[in-house]
Amino acid sequence: MRTSEIREAAAALLDAHRSGTPIPPLSATYPGATIADAYRIQQEQARCWTEAGDRVRGHKIGLVSAAIQRQMGVHEPDYGHLTASMLRPEHRPIPARAFIQPRIEPEIAFVLDAPLRGPGVTADDAVRAVGYLLPALEIVDSRIRDWEISIVDTIADNASSGAAILGSTPIDPADVDLPSANCALLRNGTVIETGTGAAVLGTPFNALAWLANAIGAMGVSLEPGQVVLSGSLTRAIPIAPGDSITAEFPGIGRVTAMLAEDAPS
């Protein structure tokens, strides 16, 4: 894609963010767009957000399960930027108007205590770089009409990011066997999904190492204090105003998000 088209596509997504009106798939508007083009579109949006006063606080990882990768026709995850405005407090209603077509996922969040600079980062390196982990919920959303997305569309759309809700009790990663960690996702008190940490590339630490190497190829590193959402342990579940969603991780903790139509932003 030409630079002018990259900016045009980013502007269309930014306008969808502001207006709440989704757009047709970028993969249809720009049929020759590549994954590299999609990351350029994502980067252009991140530049606009930071110029407007937002701040990059970390990253989110998507497409971690083998089933989703097969569905999307890819062989590796993707990533997006996690900004300060995307971080929402636990137990405080989140306005539904902030999203277009939201879904929610349970995840393990890492908070880094040391830098990770790819290439060559291993899962063991990732373990050593983590200061603590937290239970988390990610609200994913799409600015693409009816979630009609290809891999190019979701990457360009900041990996279909929406918001992140982090638990409040830090956990030492040495105290948890993440591959066997269980998770239950509850909507309004009823369990609707279950999963384990092994769904995230075998262990969420593999996802963190993958991210460090992927952004390292672009000359970017993960820094102390940054937050990384490592990917969903279950499928994403649609949510609606009035829903209360809780992710329970035995031995790790729980985190709750509430979606409300009239809550303050």
What is the pLDDT, as a whole number, of residue 66? 80
Residue 44, token pair as written in the block: 């252009």
Nearest to 225 by CA among 119, 132, 117, 123: 132
Please, which residues have CB within 8 angstroms of residue 36's CB and are 6 or more apart in sequence?
A: none
Q: How far apart are CA 46 and CA 54, in angstroms?
A: 9
pLDDT per residue as tens digits for the range 32-61:
999 999 999 999 999 999 999 999 999 999
Q: Does residue 70 register a pLDDT over 80? A: no
What is the pLDDT, as a whole number, of residue 265? 44
Of all residues in the chain, the percent with pLDDT exceeding 90 is 92
Nearest to 77 by CA among 221, 207, 229: 207
What is the pLDDT, as a whole number, of residue 259? 95
pLDDT per residue as tens digits for the range 184-216:
999 999 999 999 999 999 999 999 999 999 999
Nearest to 162 by CA among 82, 222, 46: 82
What's the CA dihedral at 120, 124, 125, 127 to 10 degrees?
Answer: 140
Tell me if 247 sits within 8 A of 106, measured CB to CB. yes
> How high is the mean pLDDT of the chain?
95
Please, which residues have CB within 8 angstroms of residue 237's CB and are 6 or more apart in sequence?
A: 103, 104, 105, 185, 187, 192, 193, 245
